[in-house]
Structure 1
Amino acid sequence: MKLILLSGGSGTRLWPLSNDSRAKQFLKVLRNENTGQLESMVQRVYRQLSEVVAAEDMIIATNTSQVDMLRNQLGDVSIVVEPERRDTFPAIALACAYLSSKLGMKENEVVGVVSVDAFVDVAFYQKVKELEQLVIETNAEIGLLGIKPTYPSSKYGYLIPKDYSEYMRVESFVEKPTEDTAEELIANEAYWNSGVFAFPLGLILSRLVEMQFSIDYEILRTEFSRLPKNSFDYEVVEHLDHIVALTYEGYWKDLGTWNTLTEEMSERVIGNGGLSEDSIDTHIVNELDLPVKVLGISNAVIAVSADGILVTDKPASSRMKDMLHVGLFSRPMFEERRWGWYRVLDYTKKENQEILTKRLCIKKGKNLSYQYHNHRSEIWTVISGNALFMQDGETRSVSPGEVLQIPVGSKHSLFGIEDTEIIEVQMGDAVIEEDIVRLEYKWEEIKTNI
Structure 2
Amino acid sequence: MKIILLSGGSGKRLWPLSNEIRSKTFLKLLPAPDGGRESMLQRVCRQLDAAGLLSSTSIVTHFSQFEIVRSQVGEKIPVLAEPHKRGTFTAIGLASRYLHTQGISPDEIVCFMPADPFVDAAFFEKVASLPSVLAQSGARMALIGTKPSFPSTQYGYIVPASAQDREAAPYLSVAEFAEKPDEQGASALLSRGALWNSGVFAFANSFMLEVLASRGLPDDYGQLLGLYDKLPELSFDEEVVEKTKPIVVLPYDGRWDDLGNWQALAPHLEGRAVGPGEVSDDSADTHIVNELSSPVHVIGVSGIIVAASPDGILVASKAGSSRIKQINPGKRRAPMYEEYRWGTVTVLDRVPPTGDANAGTEVVIRRITLLPGKSFPYRAHGSAKKSWTLLSGSGQMILDGRITRVKTGDVLHLEPAAGYALLADTTGPVELIEIEFGPESAKPAPAAPSLSWEEAVLLCRNDREPDPGKG
Report the TM range for the smaller structure's normalisation: over 0.9
Partner in structure 2 of residue 427 of structure 1:
437
Partner in structure 1 of residue 209 of structure 2:
205
Tell me whether 58-67 or 132-141 shows the greater mean CA deviation.
Answer: 132-141
| Secondary structure of 2:129's aligned partner | helix
**Which amino acid in the other structure matches residue 59 of structure 2?**
I
Q: Deviations over 1:328-361 (max 9, x none)?
A: 6510000001110010011122212111110000
Distance 1:151 1:359 in 2: 46
Q: Deviations over 1:39-74 (max 9, x none)?
A: 000000011011224433100000011111011111
Confirm or deny: 8 A CA contact 1:22 1:69 kept in the other structure: yes
Partner in structure 2 of residue 73 of structure 1:
72
Partner in structure 2 of residue 27 of structure 1:
27
| Secondary structure of 1:315's aligned partner | coil
Confirm or deny: 8 A CA contact 2:49 2:55 kept in the other structure: no
**Which has more strand, going by share of residues?**
1
Distance 1:217 1:270 in 2: 43
Distance 2:19 2:7 in 1: 14
**Which amino acid in the other structure matches residue 304 of structure 1?**
A
Partner in structure 1 of residue 333 of structure 2:
330
| Secondary structure of 1:132's aligned partner | helix
**Within 5 Å, which residues of 2 pair with 1:354-433?**
354-417=362-425, 418-431=428-441, 432-433=443-444
Q: Deviations over 1:87-118 (max 9, x none)?
A: 111101100100001x2111121100110111
Partner in structure 2 of residue 39 of structure 1:
38
Partner in structure 2 of residue 256 of structure 1:
260
Confirm or deny: 8 A CA contact 2:275 2:290 kept in the other structure: yes
**Which amino acid in the other structure matches residue 152 of structure 2?**
S
Distance 1:444 1:209 in 2: 40
2:352 is the counterpart of 1:341: no
Tell me whether 135-144 or 305-314 shows the greater mean CA deviation.
Answer: 135-144
Confirm or deny: 8 A CA contact 2:387 2:414 kept in the other structure: yes
- Counting aligned pairs with the same residue, the percent is 41
| Secondary structure of 1:104's aligned partner | coil
Distance 1:410 1:229 in 2: 39
How has the CA–CA distance of structure 1 residues 441 and 45 changed in structure 2, closer, same or farther, with 3 Å as cutoff? closer
Distance 2:209 2:347 in 1: 44
Confirm or deny: 8 A CA contact 2:375 2:453 kept in the other structure: no
Confirm or deny: 8 A CA contact 1:376 1:430 kept in the other structure: yes
Any unmatched runs of 5+ in structure 2? Answer: 459-471
| Secondary structure of 2:453's aligned partner | coil
How has the CA–CA distance of structure 1 residues 439 and 149 changed in structure 2, closer, same or farther, with 3 Å as cutoff? closer
Partner in structure 2 of residue 117 of structure 1:
116
**Within 5 Å, which residues of 2 pair with 1:151-162?**
151-162=150-161
Distance 2:446 2:207 in 1: 43
Q: Deviations over 1:252-275 (max 9, x none)?
A: 100100100112112211111111
Confirm or deny: 8 A CA contact 1:335 1:341 kept in the other structure: yes
Distance 1:446 1:392 in 2: 11
**Which amino acid in the other structure matches residue 192 of structure 2?**
N
How has the CA–CA distance of structure 1 residues 440 and 326 changed in structure 2, closer, same or farther, with 3 Å as cutoff? closer
**Within 5 Å, which residues of 2 pair with 1:315-326?**
315-323=319-327, 325-326=328-329
| Secondary structure of 2:320's aligned partner | helix
Partner in structure 2 of residue 186 of structure 1:
190
**Within 5 Å, which residues of 2 pair with 1:210-289?**
210-289=214-293
Any unmatched runs of 5+ in structure 1? Answer: none
**Which amino acid in the other structure matches residue 144 of structure 1?**
L
Larger Rg: 2
